[in-house]
């Protein structure tokens, strides 16, 4: 019998759902992919997910048993086992995903918000391996976050700690999907960056290769490509985005005085265009007791596997305890 | 021998320092007061403080021993035992107060930031007795804060967690004592409220009894009295202050998803003038997952003793362990 332990990690996203068989050293041994958006019916999705899990479990080394399934999903609560009102998933309202998958497969099913899964993954396998106190920020379509305090992920009373993407950064600013105004997410996510670019172009008097792109087709990658090609407007858009994010991060440290900030997500592919202004404005806006000691780190995990590893880490985090949602 | 335990609690403030002999039920048996500002020399202050402690210890019941001395002070760090750059105290730079007092008296000396002491006091003796997760906000000359997560006060990497008074609420807003701009403290502390009143009066075209007060003599109590007397401008000043504070609190819950917010401090003497707009704007600006379940509570401790009890709670919190700063 192998001394390693194994789990399944599920990265449930709006476009794709990736499932990986992971060992305790953080290696993804094999994986499968489902097209999330192809399953408007949640029952069909759960059937397909259970089948994929069964296939992966057949790859377990002889005699080995998987410890459980960990799912990282937007708007998921570890306490209820539900995905609740996720704007980017095909299923509306409250989906009791953990319970539904549990009915199909003989393994404990753990579930957590995707940004918290990312924090767990960095803590167990990544750049936060040696940290007890850090703030994880994920920059994608939206902004997620997870806080580690004294070596533990902060869940909060109802499992909704770490929603720092919804900090108000501009009073009465842009309308957010959450119904409030001026949230960080509306400025410093990939979609926020695009909104800034479009607003900037609409001011007119602007020479930019971004003007040639239909605003509906604009992506953060287009803005990045323009910046790389020397487009000044694209550079300004990154500078402004980095300023807002850097200042917001300098406010976040006021709550928990962390050792570091860890960033992850698609927008980081912009590299220095984003990170240089973030770091500059973060450091310049820190209160003096925090200055020159809180690095902004980026994920050290392989992009393709990071979210699977985060979800997998959730199973080890629970050390064989039954999922919290089962007690409800 | 008495089964109760005893400690000394020291509330070190810019004007007065109060020292109390406290039993484990949170009763202040007897207390003494020093005029902090009368001691520009820190050595003299420590001598006077040690003498006051000795006097109070002579009141211990026969056979009882005090467990230690707890100090709550502005800009104090539990990790270093120092008070660092406190703008409202007579001593400049870094003051190793815990070590200095330890040299004069044969008891362990614990020290902590005054807002965190308040959080410990509410947790042990006050309105947060049954809470594991809450955010403490103290509203005085400045704004302090302390976070409880899973039953523990969050200290942070260097002891500087809970500086939420320095959250930016108005980008490029009022200059703060910390050197940054737009901090919550510049709007929602007692001095912030006064700044709002003076700004409002300077707009002119204003009929208000506050106009009769020399701006240099304006206090939050004057604004309160005017509001009570039906002065519309004073009412507006409270409404605006409550709006900024309520919205800021709605952002703070995003980090830790607490069970409640607890407020304490002189500005709360304004009662409904402050609390009504705070509660209204807090609830209206909460993300929907937090709505209708996070009460804003006010301290249940006797005003005169609350800070002494908070400092005293620090000693019990340490359960006989040596102070952290001694290890440095």
pLDDT band at B141; cut points 50, 70, 90: confident
Q: Residues B255, A147: contact at Cβ < 8 Å?
A: yes
Structure confidence by residue, pLDDT tens digits, A94-103: 999 999 999 9
- Mutation pick from B257, B261, B282 vs chain A, by most beta carbons of A within 10 Å, is B257
Across chain A, mean pLDDT equals: 94
Tokens at A318, concatenated: 């629970």
Dist. CA B297–CA B284, nearest whole Å: 17
Q: Report how far residue A43's alpha carbon sits from residue B130's, in angstroms, rounded to the nearest whole number.
A: 41
Rounded CA separation B15/B5 (Å): 30
Least confident of B20-34, B80-94, B231-245, B249-263: B80-94
Q: Facing residues of A143 across strands?
A: A139
What is the predicted pLDDT for the residue at A328?
A: 58
pLDDT computed for residue B86 by the predictor: 85
Instruction: Please report, for residues A114, A250, B282, the alpha-carbon distance to residue A83 in angstroms, rounded to integers and kept in the order given.
Output: 11, 30, 26
Contact state of A157 with B288 under an 8 Å Cβ cutoff? no
**Rounded CA gap, B18 and B6, in Å?**
16
Mean pLDDT of all residues in B289-301: 95
Query: What CA–CA distances, in Å, run from A3 to A23, A34, A68?
Result: 10, 31, 16
Looking at the complex, does the CB of residue B240 fall below 8 Å from at least one CB of chain A?
no
> Looking at residue A1, what is its pLDDT?
40
Model confidence pLDDT, tens digit, residues A212-229: 999 999 999 999 999 999
Name the closest residue on chain A to residue B251, using Cα atoms: A167
Q: Which pTM value belongs to this model?
A: 0.93
Distance CA A93, CA A114 (A): 18
Interface of B with A in 169-228 (CB under 8 A): 169-171, 178-180
- CA dist B134 → B128, B257, B260 (Å): 8, 8, 5
pLDDT in tens, A222-257: 999 999 999 999 999 999 999 999 999 999 999 999
ipTM: 0.92
Does B94 lie at the interface with A, CB-CB under 8 angstroms? no
Q: CA-to-CA distance for A147 and A170, rounded, in angstroms?
A: 23
For residue B313, give the nearest of B294, B295, B299 by alpha carbon. Answer: B299
User: How many angstroms away from the CA of B165 is the closest CA of chain A?
Assistant: 9
A157, A166, A259 member nearest B254 (Cβ): A166
> Which residues are registered as beta bridge partners of A94?
A84
**Tokens encoding B325:** 């700063």
3-state SS assignment for residue B167: coil
Query: Could you tell me the strand order of the sheet in which A143-149 lies?
Result: A152-153, A143-149, A134-139, A260-264, A296-298
Provide the shortest C-alpha distance from residue A169 to chain B (in Å).
8
Please, what are the domains in chain A?
Answer: 6-120+304-327 (3.30.420.40), 132-299 (3.30.420.40)
Q: Is A289 on the interface with B (CB under 8 A)?
A: yes
- Give the chain A residue nearest B180 (alpha carbons): A285
DSSP state of A8: E
Single out the residue of B206, B193, B278 nearest to residue B237, CA to CA. B193
């Amino acid at each position: 019998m192998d001394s390693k332990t194994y789990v399944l990690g599920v990265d449930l996203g709006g476009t794709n759902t990736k499932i990986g068989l992971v060992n305790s050293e953080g290696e993804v041994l094999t994986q499968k992919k489902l097209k999330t958006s192809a399953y408007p019916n949640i029952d069909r999705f759960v059937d397909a997910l259970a089948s994929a899990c069964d296939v992966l479990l057949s790859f377990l080394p002889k005699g080995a048993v998987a410890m459980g399934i960990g799912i990282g999903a937007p708007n998921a609560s570890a306490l209820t086992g539900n995905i609740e009102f996720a704007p980017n998933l095909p299923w509306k309202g409250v989906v009791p995903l953990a319970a539904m998958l549990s009915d199909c497969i003989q393994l404990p099913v753990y579930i957590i918000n995707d940004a918290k899964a990312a924090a767990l993954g960095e803590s167990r396998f990544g750049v936060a391996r040696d940290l007890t106190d850090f703030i994880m920020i994920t920059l994608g379509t939206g902004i997620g976050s997870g806080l580690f305090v004294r070596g533990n992920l902060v869940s909060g009373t109802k499992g909704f700690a770490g929603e720092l993407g919804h900090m108000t950064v501009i009073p009465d600013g842009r309308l957010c999907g959450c119904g409030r105004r001026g949230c960080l997410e509306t400025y410093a996510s990939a979609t926020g960056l695009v909104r800034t670019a479009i607003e900037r172009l609409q001011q007119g008097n602007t020479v930019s290769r971004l003007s040639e792109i239909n605003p509906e087709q604009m992506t953060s990658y287009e803005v990045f490509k323009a910046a790389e090609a020397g487009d000044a407007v694209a550079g300004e858009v990154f500078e402004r985005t980095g300023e807002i994010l850097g200042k917001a991060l300098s406010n976040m440290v006021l709550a928990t005085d962390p050792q570091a900030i860890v960033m992850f997500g698609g927008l980081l592919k912009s590299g220095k265009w984003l990170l240089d202004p973030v770091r500059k404005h973060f450091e310049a806006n820190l209160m003096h007791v925090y200055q020159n000691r809180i690095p902004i780190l980026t994920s050290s995990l392989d992009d393709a596997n990071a979210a699977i590893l985060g979800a997998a880490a959730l199973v080890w985090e629970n050390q064989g305890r039954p999922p919290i949602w089962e007690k409800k």
